[in-house]
Amino acid sequence: MPTQQPPRISAANCAFFLDFDGTLVHFGNPDEIVPVVDDGLRGLLLALRDAADGALAVVSGRTVAAIDGLFEPLTLASSGEHGGEWRHLVGEELQSIPVPPGLDAAHKICEAWSKATPGTLFERKGLSLVLHFHRHPELREAAAAVAQSVCTPDSGLRMLHARGMVEIRPVSADKGVAIRRFMELPPYAGRTPVFLGDDVTDEDGFTAVNALDGISVKIGPGTSHARYRLPNEDAVREWLESLIEPAMRQT
């Protein structure tokens, strides 16, 4: 379990991959709270991207379109739906993996269950499904049973537990795949990868970054494969801000 804070590193030599909810902004229930991206965060990420010569991307469970809307007018390189879709460079055309064959059938089953189960919310993204139960954690087992039932061997889907929800996503999509995909291309290639995330859905990313001898940082409590830890979103901003000035002095 990581306990050590991440070291002071040179942003000029790194490629930054940043989860969104619970990492850059406070994690909120999607049926209650729309996260706010303030100008301070926009300015921080713009400065960090400049210090890293463009090697910065948001890697999120949200769609790329949702990420764009939250950061507007700033546009960032992004991977959405846990690596199911991506845009490696600003201005590049959005790419994605194929739609899993069992997604539509799973949609019908999960939506019907959610409508019949008070305290839950069903969400359909482009390539994945979510059953939310943030205010009713006692429903996790039932939601997981429904989700697991649609993840048959031929569905192309798998279930993953997350904070206040269970997610059904393509078997070929995870944040580790997303980060490795970025790291094969400029301006990310040849740099030390740095990934910050807070949830179970980020563990694939931590594992991938560790294999590349990078900096993996878990935000908040809980067991993790990450090598380092920061306590909360405010600490994330403080640490990222500490990397910018030294890097800019070297340029």
Active site amino acids: 19
CA distance 58 to 75: 10
Q: Where are the alpha helices (DSSP H) in the chain?
A: 39-51, 64-71, 103-115, 140-150, 175-183, 203-211, 233-250
Q: Which among 12, 167, 3, 122 is positioned nearest to 175, based on CA atoms?
A: 167
Q: Which among 85, 24, 97, 59 is positioned nearest to 175, based on CA atoms?
A: 59
Do residues 11 and 51 lie in contact, with contact meaning Cβ atoms separated by under 8 Å? Answer: yes
